């Protein structure tokens, strides 16, 4: 065996390089000497925590005002004053789960995800006039025919939901609050999205009931009681292509009014077939939309019922949802500081618009 002679300095260097290699292999080289924390171990620990535990931990940090441990997230470019607190990915998914459960628009619309795009608008071409064909005699010129288009612009807007809880409940029952808060936020967001997609008047979006170009069926009277079987038949006067996937959309009380209508043979037009929990009206499914006008809100010259395929409604969105908590906010003219409560806010950015108005029919009362 060959004997290797090393100087003292060489031996120390060899020893140091060997130790460094082992330390690096174990990941100990990333340990923070000040706090004796190994980031890799911390990351693994965080991944092992449940989404509820991480969310509760986030709330506790905010509640105790340990801001140095919280990652702040700006909601709009260059406006740090609107900063919130980043919700864990799993929490975002839980909120969206309830949005999809309670919301009708998201279930059936055409959704465009702009998460990877550096824009807050989307231009979608809409056909205004199609090409035409005609019979041509021998040696006769063929008339030129070109389709014409217009752009439908979908613009992102901020959408937020706020819930308030007492500081005692927030401090003592965070785990119990998790599912309650997720459902509350999801339900509020869903209602707001449905309201704009179906009944929006342009602030900020225009929904089906108020979109230009929809097929309007005007009732003979100025109130909902004048809605007749013939009106509902006329609402189905869409092309066969547009009838595919069509549904009725109305509030619970408006659909309830439809239950009173009978066909020419005296049979109710709203039915619930055996072994099928989904009610149908004249052969098409019914979707209850709480955000659409209630029967009591239907006066003269008021649209209240829609029919068509909701995939002709477009929605854009970005994946992030921001969360913020405040003990100084004013909600409904009530000061959180005075009441000893905390305001919890979830915010997202979405946009919606009718892509094909001619794919819908609406029922509207007669003007006074």
Residues 6+ apart with CB under 8 A from 330: 336
Q: What are phi and psi of 349, to 5 degrees?
A: -125, 120
Q: Using CA atoms, how far apart are residues 269 and 276, in angstroms rounded to an integer?
A: 16
Query: Residue 18 corresponds to which tokens in the numbers above?
Result: 């060997």
Residues 6+ apart with CB under 8 A from 315: 105, 106, 109, 110, 111, 112, 154, 193, 197, 350, 351, 352
Q: Using CA atoms, how far apart are residues 58 and 70, in angstroms rounded to an integer?
A: 8
Q: Determine contact, residues 284/190, Cβ cutoff 8 Å.
A: no
Q: Using CA atoms, how far apart are residues 177 and 56, in angstroms rounded to an integer?
A: 9
Residue pLDDT, tens place only, 117-169: 888 888 877 766 767 888 888 888 888 877 776 778 888 998 887 777 777 77
Where does residue 30 rank: exposed (0-12), middle (13-18), buried (19+ CB within 10 A)? middle
Q: Is the dihedral of CA 242, 247, 253, 259 positive or negative?
A: positive
Strand partners, 313: 354
Domain architecture of the chain: domains with CATH:
212-312+356-364 (3.30.2320)
Tell me the pTM. Answer: 0.71
Q: Using CA atoms, how far apart are residues 354 and 313, in angstroms rounded to an integer?
A: 4
Residues 6+ apart with CB under 8 A from 278: 272, 285, 286
Q: Using CA atoms, how far apart are residues 271 and 274, in angstroms rounded to an integer?
A: 9
Q: Determine contact, residues 152/124, Cβ cutoff 8 Å.
A: yes
Residues of the chain with pLDDT under 50: 1, 28, 31-37, 39, 47-48, 67-86
């Amino acid at each position: 065996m060959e004997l290797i002679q090393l100087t003292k300095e060489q031996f120390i260097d060899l020893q140091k390089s060997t130790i460094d290699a082992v330390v690096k292999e174990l990941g100990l080289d990333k340990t923070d000497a000040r706090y004796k924390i190994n980031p890799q171990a911390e990351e693994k620990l965080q991944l092992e925590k449940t989404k509820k535990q991480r969310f509760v931990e986030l709330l506790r940090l905010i509640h105790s005002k340990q801001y140095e441990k919280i990652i702040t997230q700006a909601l709009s470019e260059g406006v740090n004053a609107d900063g919130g607190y980043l919700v864990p990915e799993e929490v975002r998914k839980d909120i969206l789960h309830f949005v999809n459960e309670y919301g009708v628009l998201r279930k059936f619309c055409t959704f465009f995800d702009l998460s990877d795009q550096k824009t807050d608008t989307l231009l979608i071409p809409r056909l205004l006039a199609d090409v035409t064909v005609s019979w041509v005699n021998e040696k006769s010129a063929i008339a030129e025919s070109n389709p014409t288009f217009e752009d439908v612009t979908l613009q992102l807007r901020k959408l937020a939901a706020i819930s308030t809880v007492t500081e005692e409940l927030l401090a003592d029952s965070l785990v119990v609050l998790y599912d309650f808060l997720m459902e509350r936020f999801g339900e509020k967001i869903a209602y707001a999205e449905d309201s704009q997609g179906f009944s929006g008047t342009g602030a900020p979006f225009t929904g089906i009931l108020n979109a230009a170009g929809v097929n309007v069926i005007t009732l003979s009277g100025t109130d909902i009681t004048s809605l007749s079987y013939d009106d509902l038949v006329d609402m189905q006067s869409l092309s066969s292509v547009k009838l595919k996937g069509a549904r009725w959309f109305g509030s619970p009380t408006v659909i309830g009014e439809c239950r009173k209508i009978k066909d020419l043979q005296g049979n109710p037009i709203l039915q619930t077939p055996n072994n099928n929990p989904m009610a149908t009206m004249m052969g098409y499914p019914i979707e209850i939309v709480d955000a659409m006008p209630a029967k009591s809100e239907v006066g003269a010259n008021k649209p209240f019922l829609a029919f068509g395929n909701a995939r002709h409604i477009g929605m854009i969105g970005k994946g992030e949802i921001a969360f913020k908590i405040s003990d100084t906010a004013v909600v409904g003219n009530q000061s959180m500081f005075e009441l000893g409560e905390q305001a919890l806010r979830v915010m997202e950015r979405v946009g919606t618009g009718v892509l094909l108005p001619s794919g819908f029919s609406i029922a509207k009362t007669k003007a006074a």
